[in-house]
Amino acid sequence: MTPDPHSISVEIAYASASEILRRLDDGDVTSRKLVEIFQSRIAAVDGPESVVALRSIAAVNAEALREADECDAERARGESRGPLHGVPILIKDNIEAVGLPGRAGSTSLTGRPPRDAGVVTKLRAVGAIVLGSTNLSEWANMRSPHSTSGWSATGGLVGNPWALDRSAGGSSSGSGAALAAGLAPLVIGTETDGSIVCPASLNGVVGLKPTVGRWPTDGVVPISASQDSPGPMARSVADLALFYGAMVNETAPAAGTLRFGVATNWRTEHAETDAAFDQMISRLRAAGYEVVDKEVAVPTSEVGEDEVTVLLCEMADGLNAYLSSRPGDGVHSLADVIAFEAAHADTELAHFGHEYLVQAAELGGTDHERYAPARARNLHWAIEVCLNPALEGVDVLLAPSYAPAWKSDLTVSGHGSALSSPVTSPSAIAGWPIGCVPMALIDGLPVGAAVVGRAHDEWTVIAAAAVLESVTMLECRPTFAPARRG
């Protein structure tokens, strides 16, 4: 029987990235040993004989041990590739990397050999070892209005390590779950609207969606040119800062005194979550920080409809260009994907449809007459009506993100049970940065606070997240419970 995940090298599994780097430098551990430890935990938590069956891992890199040996040899010679030299890292399955499938959860991309995405090229350049890839909501959740977050045809349904019957969020579900489960110290997710913030909140980890364009998107299976961004996920804000700084070749600037705005009318409508947020704000004020209450614009149904139109049009262009250029035989267009999924409906459409793919194909791309006005209205609302007034006179805007993880349901759909504030939409539409940090445990499940910042001001978002972390002082270690009551 596979050992219980609690017994597999917990000290290393939950060590911070900075602690791992220190131990590598001191010779207390090697990169090979780290890879072996994390591979053992993956087997214990995700493998076919697992006692947990988290299903957070899409694939393990068969070359990881060889890469670790190279890092160890270089370290022995006094050489370093960069600030993450020898640290194993997981990437989301919609990010291409040599040695991994990069299928975005879809069987239609099986056999299409991946290249290194730009963000993976950067990872390798700063010394990280690509340990493997994480499961996700198929096609990054832009597939059906009735889809269940965390499910893909290639990987099944990701469980939440706090309670396995609960959602790990979407679309970076496997990234959040694997990180919380101690399967790697750092993970890359991607977000179009909420896909890093949601799994960070539900799994009790820290996440950041950078300003669109800050991290490269080439080699990432696309949804939206205006909203997609890869981003770092970690178990602490310090690790997030280390990871982000390494990837953009920057160090954190000296932190000044922050002024916080609070979106008083952005609520999850889950009483305990909203009360936990209010308690965090009270602690922030008690610690001497200036906090300004703000009544902020709330997205209307028209805003949401415009965003969907934009995403569908951009997805048609993006997927057609991406699929036509990726090596290998198989699907080379959005129409090919739709036909493939229809022909393999028992696998691909077993639980819900692919209505968004069909709608995107019908719209045909950004040349459609509905696209430009929808995008213009969206941007005006997000920036001029919402974010600029909300951030006037403050450095960041705070709001609760999501209620505790809901029960996953492949029959009714996972989205229907989600309670969240409107916090992700304005930043998503504008392409501005947003972060999430754990703020409380409710009935044994984590909930997070979101931090909204201005374009290209990621370091302020990170600094604000560090302040929230300091006032909540929350210890997040999942229990791997089979289920949670309620």
pLDDT tens track, the chain, 486 positions = 344 555 557 889 999 999 999 999 999 999 999 999 999 999 988 977 787 889 999 999 999 999 999 999 999 999 999 999 999 999 999 999 999 999 999 999 999 999 999 999 999 999 999 999 999 999 999 999 999 999 999 999 999 999 999 999 999 999 999 999 999 999 999 999 999 999 999 999 999 999 999 999 999 999 999 999 999 999 999 999 999 999 999 999 987 899 999 999 999 999 999 999 999 999 999 999 999 999 999 999 999 999 999 999 999 999 999 999 999 999 999 999 999 999 999 999 999 999 999 999 999 999 999 999 999 999 999 999 999 999 999 999 999 999 999 999 898 765 545 789 999 999 999 999 999 999 999 999 999 999 999 999 999 999 999 999 999 999 889 999 998 866
Q: What DSSP letter does each residue of 92-128 carry, written as one string?
A: ETTB--TTS---TT-GGGTT------HHHHHHHHTT-
d(CA 20, CA 25): 9
Contact 315/331 with Cβ under 8 angstroms?
no
Looking at residue 276, its amino acid is: A
E strand or H helix at 400, and its extent? strand 396-400
Closest CA relative to residue 200, chosen from 228, 240, 162, 172: 172
Closest CA relative to residue 153, chosen from 355, 437, 344: 344
Residue 329 buriedness (CB in 10 A; 0-12 / 13-18 / 19+): exposed
E strand or H helix at 303, and its extent? helix 301-325
**Which residues are CB-neighbours of 233 under 8 A, at least 6 positions away?**
172, 175, 176, 179, 186, 187, 188, 189, 196, 199, 200, 205, 206, 207, 208, 240
β-sheet bridge partners, residue 440: 447
Range of the domain at 459: 1-486
> ∠ at Cα 153 (346, 402), nearest 5°?
125
**Which residues are CB-neighbours of 7 under 8 A, at least 6 positions away?**
none
How many domains are contained in the chain?
1
User: 39-43: long-range contacts at Cβ-Cβ below 8 A with a sequence spacing of 24 or more?
Assistant: 39/64, 39/131, 40/8, 40/9, 41/5, 41/8, 41/9, 41/13, 41/181, 41/182, 41/183, 42/132, 42/183, 43/2
d(CA 353, CA 303): 24
- CATH number for the domain spanning 38: value is 3.90.1300.10
Q: How far apart are the first and last CA of the chain?
A: 31
Contact 482/164 with Cβ under 8 angstroms?
yes
Catalytic sites, residue numbers: 92, 171, 195
